[in-house]
Amino acid sequence: MRCFHVSILLALLFVPAAALAAQQGEWSGPYAGVEVGSNQSSANPEYSVTDFSGSDFATAIYGGYDWQLDRHIVLGGDIFYLWNAITGHIECNFGSCLEDDVGSNVYGLDGRIGFPFGYQGQFMPYVKAGYGHFEFTGDFEGDADGWRLGTGIEWRFSHNISLMLQYIHAEYDVKANFFAKPVTWKNDNYTVGINWRF
């Protein structure tokens, strides 16, 4: 019993080494997480706006479930809520420019397929696709449904915690109060996140 307590103490003192040596690889089960990063947003209206884009802070919460089908294939899905902060977008129309403060909230469902590799399969690159409901915040009003497509990699460095890097591209054909015609609004999210697995 004393040896057991000594081992626990050493693991706590040498977290990096313990993390690398941890037994990983079983991805099946529920998880919840949070991510932060940046969003690059832009619009492609059907009339003479030539430059309309901005960069802002993004954060999201999510929860989901993974099924490990075999050693190298994992299927999963999650629900999410994403906040893209309000920031200035420069609009140029017929030679004159102005700045609009625009952000968005998005919620929806993503599915993904992952491919574990490495020692005990603790690294998992993945691709994902899904659906999102988009709502403007800031100077604009309007909402729309659209698609999402992305990729990422997750590192399960302990039994209950994993880190991830992710990129998501999304497009929404939205009718806003400001635009005379519907526009294709694009969000490109670059985020890092932490997941808790149960």
**Average pLDDT of span 52-70:** 92
- In whole angstroms, give the CA distance from residue 27 to residue 31: 10
Q: Whole-number mean pLDDT of the chain?
A: 83
**The residue type at 133:** H
Q: Which CATH class is domain 25-197?
A: mainly beta
Domain-by-domain residue ranges, the chain?
Answer: 25-197
Joined tokens for residue 158: 């302990």
What distance in Å separates the CA atoms of residue 117 and residue 71, rounded to the nearest whole number? Answer: 8
142-182 confidence digits (pLDDT tens): 899 999 999 999 999 998 999 999 999 999 988 776 666 77
Residue 131 above 70 pLDDT? Answer: yes
- 64-116 pLDDT, tens digit per residue, is 999 999 999 999 999 999 999 988 777 666 667 777 788 899 999 999 999 99
Comparing CA positions, the residue from 106, 130, 124, 197 lying closest to residue 164 is: 124
Under the banding of pLDDT at 50, 70 and 90, the label for residue 46 is: low
